[in-house]
Every structure is written in C-alpha cells, then in structure tokens.
Chains A and B, each alone.
Chain A
Amino acid sequence: MKAVVIGPGRIGCGVAGQLLRASGHDVVFVGRDPRLMDHLNRVGRYRVRLARGRAERELEVGPVRAVCCTERAQVARELADAGLVVTAVGAPNLPLIAPLIASGLTLRREPLNVLAFENSPDAGARLARLVGPRVAARHGFAGAVVHRAVPHRLGDPRGSEPLLFIGDDPETVVVDARPLVRPLPEIQGVVCTGDYGAWMRRKLYLYSAGHATAAYLGHVKGYHYIHTAVRDPEIRATVLAAMAEAQAGLARRYGREVAGDRRDLEDILDRFANPALDDPVERVGRDPRRKLAADERLVGAALAALQAGVRPVNLELAVAAALCFRAPQDLSASELERDIRSTGRGAAIRDVCGLEPTDGLGRAVMEMWDRLLAASAGCLLLRLDHPLWAWRPDERAKAYA
C-alpha cells in the first residue's frame, strides 16, 4: 500500500513515516520546503532515534519519496492512487492543506481514509469541512492521538547525510474509528477506537496537562529543560498531583479504563524526565493562549476535576503560571502579555480561559496568580509555597544596565 504523509516534520517523519515503513508500506511525503523535499528524494531515507534515558535505538526509515506541495498536479496524482493519507501539519495549518487534499480526492473513485495525526479533538471533522462536503462525503476523515513525543530534528537538508529525528519510545497512535470508510491496513502501533473523544481527552488531560504544568512551573522557577524541571521535588510533586486531579475528572467522565491509574501517571512523569529528548521549557510552554483555552489541557482538566468533586489546586497553580509565561520568541506569549497589560488580569481570565474571575475556578486561578505576580516582572520563584524570589535573565535586565 502507498501512504501519502502530508507534513514531513517531527510527527510526520518521526511517527507516521516510521510506523508506516516499519509495517511495509510505501511512503510519499508532501511538504512545502523545497530543500527538504529535495533532500528526502536525494537521500531517500532518514533516521529516527528513540530514546529513554541513556538507552536508545536508532531506526533507518526508507526508502521514501517526497513531492513539494507547489507541484499540485503531482500531489493530486499521488493522492489519487494512495491507500491512505496521513496529515501531520499542526492543527492550525489544516486550512493550508485542505485544497491540496480536495484536488487529489476529486480524481478518485475509491473511498480513502485520511488520518489527522494532529492531537486535536476535532481535526478529522474540521479537515472534512475544510475539504468541502461534496468532495469529503465519500471519504473518511479521522482524528488520531499520537503518544510519541518527537521534539528534535537534526541534520542539514542541504547535505547528503540522512536527517535524524529524536523522540521517545511509545508508538501507540489511537485513531477515531467512526469516520473510517474502509478498514485500515495493518500499521504498527495504530489502534482504532469508537471512543475517540475519551482517549483524546486522556492524552490532553494527563500527558499534555502534565507537560504544560512542568513547563510553566519550570519557567516560573527558572529551569531551561523539562527533564531538569521535573527533577525539582516541588515541580515533580505538583505535576504528579495535577495529573491526578485530571485523572479523577477523566475517571468520572469516562471510567477507570480510560483514566488509568497511578502507574500511568508515574510512567508519564518518567517520560518528562527523559534527558534524551532535551525538551526546552520554552518550546513546551509556547502558545500559552491556545493552551489556556477552556477546553484545553489545563482549564479543561481542572473543570473535569471539579465535576468529580476534586478541587484542582495544582492545576490552578499551573494555569496561573501559564498566565505568567514570558518568552520573547513566542508571539502568542507576547500577545498574551500585551493583552493582560491592556485589558487587565480579570479580563484575561475571562477572555483566554473562559472563566469568571470573581467566581469558582476563575477566582481560584486569580488568587494563585496573585502569588506569582512577580514572575511576570522578571522574577523567578524559589519556593512554590513561599514568596522568595530571585531574578531571571531577560530583556528587562537591560533596563538596569
């Protein structure tokens, strides 16, 4: 079978391409960077390093081909005779690839499954809408939850050495079975579920919430890497407790099987502590505005915990820390900072988190935020439960120069 993977990035190559090739399928990548497409065609392969701690294994993925998305006719032909399409472009970029997919699907008679490896609750349905109901009607657009983290791509596309993608070892990809229009071929790691929303939220409220908590508290305390931040006993305990709060919410909503148990949380925490991923706090924390939305990892998990009768104090702290996140390279963080300055903190909690700042969870977040306020002004907190501050190196330091 030939699979077309749209988005030869970290997830596209480090997960989709690797699992498809490991299952014996042909892989054609579609991307927008001509240099990268040229590289994949010239070299015909890449490497994936899967690491946990100091233990690692390296896989060669190939042969693979690539087509630049500017070659629209060629892309359409590749899609026309593909057995499967996978997207891994990042949910916000789906509108950019929808016309491309539509042009390929119009050439087909056979129904086709399109799997959106986007870790988004509605990526499949959204992509179907973007492609257009007339074209999409005969095809299956399904979301997929990817468990592996692939934070790095090393190598120079201008060179002839294979690129190297570095990730951790989980290979499970949970696919929404309901929209599929034909059985999926055998693909290593891919499992289908009729309860996609539940598994999506499990990933979002446990792994993503824990990851975000580690990043935002790591930022408040001044650490550079996630694996360092979770070695801090306070952060480690808070991350674990935040995931436990979210797990209580999941258990009430979806049952124990989906929510998992304490060992699952410790396993996730071990993944965060994996130094091989070298995951910077700034990378994991970026785009705080999106991550603070009411249905997202932190606020969504906190609301679920409240529904289960659990006061989510650790998630409240994580939300407050996210509101203090400052990263000069991150447009979303800068915009959020500007909005907070111009409209005030209460309005930010209302607009960004969808919470009422004078009531319930919103008020609790506001109180936590009061404790962390100096973190927004160039300070870093030395103890999460005690107002002891140091100074961080940032742009404000120049004001004192």
Chain B
Amino acid sequence: MGTLLDVIDLQTHFATRGGVVRAVDGVSWDVAEGETVALVGESGCGKSVSALSIMRLVAAPAGRIVGGRVLFKGRDLLSLDEDAMRRVRGREIAMIFQEPMTSLNPVLSIGRQMTEGLETHLSMTPTAARARAAELLSMVGIPDPARRLGQYPHQFSGGMRQRMMIAMALACEPSLVLADEPTTALDVTIQAQILELMKSLSRRLGVAMLMITHNLGVVARYADRVNVMYAGKIIERGTAREIYANPRHPYTLGLLRSVPRLDEPRRARLDPIEGQPPDLSRLPGGCAFAPRCAFRVERCVVETPPLRPIGGTGHVTACWEAERVTRAREPVGEAR
C-alpha cells in the first residue's frame, strides 16, 4: 500500500497571554491507503490540533501553522491556495467530530446539510443528491431514510447524529477520514455500534482513517498503527500489537498500567502516573514527561530525546532509557 498522507515536521503554535504554546511541536507521521492509524493522548497533547492543521482549520490569528509539510497524495496541502484547499476538504479528506450536534446546523434539515456537499463537490443535481443522501443514510443503518431527510438534527438521537455525520463524511467518497473522538460522547453500547460501522465501511470502501482518541480500548480494537502523543510531540509509534504488548516509552507504559481492565483479575490498587499533565506554555527543558517519569535519569532533564528505532517493525520511541522500559506486569496467561 502506498503512502496517502505524509505529515513531516508539522509545527502549530498558539499565541496566548502566557506566551507561545507549541501545541504541535515538530510532529511526523503517515497514513497508508486504506489504513487505520490512531493518534492517542490526553487532553492538550496536540492530537486534535494535528488534525485541524491537516485540514488547515486552525483558528487564526491565535493559531498558526509555522512549519512542516503535509503531503497528501504527493501534494503539500500547506502550499495550496484557499480555493484548492476547499476542494480537498470534504471531497478528499473528511472529518468527523466528537459532538455531532455542534458541527451540524440546527436550522437546516438533515437533507439540506447532506446534499450541500454532493451538489458543490460532485456537481449533482438536487434530485440526484437527495437520492444519494437517502442511500447514504440507509448505508449507516438509519431506517426510513427518505422521511429522515426532512427532519432536523434535534430530532435525531446522539447515536443517530453520529451515524449521519459518518454518512456525510463518506458522501463524496474521500480517501481519508479524520475522526476526532468520534464516540466519546456516546454510550458504550452505541459506541460499539458506531465503531463497528466505521470499521466495516472503511474496509468495504477502502477509506483510510485517522482515529484521534484518548481511549486505549478503542485503539486496541480498531487501529493498525498507533502514535502516542505527549505535550505536542509523538513519543512512541508502532503497530497496535507492538505498542500494547511491548510499550517502550514510560508514558505509554504508564497509561496502559493506570487503567483497570475487565479481562484481568482486579488489582488491589491502580498504578497511576504521578503528577499533573504539563502546562504547554511552561514546558521544562529536556523530555516533557521527565517530571512524572519513574525511569528519569539526569540526561532526561537536559536533552530532549528524539524518536529512535527500538525493536523491529517500525517501532520508535523518544526515550533515552527505552531499553529499561518493559511491562513490569506479566501478561495474563493464555488459559483464560
């Protein structure tokens, strides 16, 4: 599979009263055709800003992409003029947000919102666009689509709205979908439905997906490769299997160990990551995770560790002490 999206050394900064916040601080990652890649991290780590930067939707003037390249099918999106960029958005790269209600227009019917893109991007006639919209709604499992097209967002449940957002995202048959916490606002049984839907559609239609989430379980179920972000940087990357079985950054290891798991015996005590998430306007020198890190050595507070290969299969980590970082907990045996 060829590379579809290649993000190289992307830097997005925000001007705040407290100084410049490097929300995305020299980040490189890629997505192959048809692949599902995860961007994992906690609030403020820069994962959503990364996606917005690719779409060039970072709120100016406070936010600015100050460096890097975003190669999509070989073209640098950062050098396109606004007209060309508008043709990319929705048509070639679509986006799904966490809270569908805030990204839908409450006073336009579902049908109007769905046909708009089809008419502008694909030059469909209103009749053809309406027929296609009904077809899309039925594809995402919304019953009685013809009647639903005449309804308004508030008449849809949260799960239905997210199904509709998926339908809209797929309307112009994009080759990449950026999904920013697509199921975080949903209940767990509805989350399962939506994720199964996204997975089967992306397989069937060959759409590549960037899944942005803080939920390690969701990533484990759906992603081929994983990028872990902390304080504006990618600190570990690898195949999902490799990252979960063999995390080689103390932050990734800490995240995996801090969550209680239903498949393991109940632990007497959880192992949290100590300390607080970093304040991006006042980052320490060296590794941003060092103040919370159990593996910290002197070098960590002086020199920022670059991503470097560890093990095989494209596994990289940004930790000086990666060789010492291993899962302390033995995996639970196969005979479960």
Whether A and B are associated in the same complex: the answer reads: no
A residues sitting closer than 8 Å to B (CB atoms) are: none
